[in-house]
Amino acid sequence: MKNVWYLAIDGGGTKTEYRLLDGQLHLAECFLGGCVNHDLLPDGWEDTARELRSGIGTLLGRRGLQTGDIADVVAGLSGVDSRTDQEQAERCLREIGLKEFLVCNDGFLPVKAECGGWGIAYNCGTGVCCAGIGEDGGMVKRAGLDEWSGDAGGGRWIAVHLFRAVYRRCILCGQETYLTAAYQRKFGCRNEEDIIDSLALLKAPARHPEAAKAAVELFFAALEQNDRDAQLLAEEMSDCAAENIYAVYKKLVYTQPRIPVVLTGSIHIKASNRTYLDMLEQKVQKKMSGRAEIFPAAGEPVSGAEKWLRERALLNII
């Protein structure tokens, strides 16, 4: 009898994790590839298909396998935000030669990985995404369209609004605040021209990741110092989080008294500012009448794809 293999994929805007599982759904091989988000690639979905083909081919090649050897795939892909995106993502997998698969936005993977199969995941990393799975298997996603859906809180958003606050206070109004002084120290700015020149670093996070990281650190440091601009940004971020989580909650079936809400992404995990997280939790609990059980992610999203594969395999057996 031919061996059966399974493929779990967590495709992001920076990197993509591929995991090959054997017939007993045990981990056999791993591979870390590049960005698959069509919104961030020069040739859009063509580049997404090219990157997926390369990553999957490399992974399977280590075991001498072909795509026809794969019985099932669960792929969570960043950038799958609309029906058209869904159709394009499915087309990519079919053209690679995969026949049986489930593809969705990568925001759903932490729900499977962290919440026992149902619940809500709110991600704040480079961007923002909120995804939920109901007790009946229903799936709903909100946010993830950047400024078009009013997303507030991702790393890029923080960098833009941090600079905007410094520009307004320092250059337009000639005022010094904790934030403006800290910004000038961090980026070595001695005058207005230096502040404007520093924008080149923030506008190119791929080439200057340390600048993007510094912007997030400055924002949370300013928040701890009760800087007015930082407080206003934190209010907008937490409002966005609460609105999106509540919007997903309202659309799905949850009969249990407590609903797991997992926080993912670098802003929630690596930065992990208690002042901001407390603000977020208070607003979410108020909207959800205290039903939310909020906690940070402890594992890797790709494990959600693995868990999903095991569920699908079990259903096929039954």
Domain ranges in the chain are 1-99, 107-318
| Mean pLDDT along residues 59-66 | 96
pLDDT value at 193 more than 70: yes
Which pLDDT value is given to residue 2? 60
pLDDT value at 88 more than 90: yes
Percent pLDDT > 70 in the chain is: 99
- In whole angstroms, what is the distance from residue 233 CA to residue 312 CA? 42
What CATH architecture does domain 107-318 belong to?
A: 2-Layer Sandwich (3.30)
Domains 1-99 and 107-318 share a fold: yes
Strand bridging mode 139-142 / 128-133:
antiparallel
Q: Does domain 1-99 have CATH number 3.30.420.40?
A: yes
- In whole angstroms, what is the distance from residue 73 CA to residue 148 CA? 31
pLDDT value at 318 more than 50: no
| Mean pLDDT along residues 223-251 | 98
Tell me the whole-structure pTM to 2 decimals. Answer: 0.93
Strand bridging mode 128-133 / 119-124:
antiparallel
pLDDT value at 284 more than 50: yes
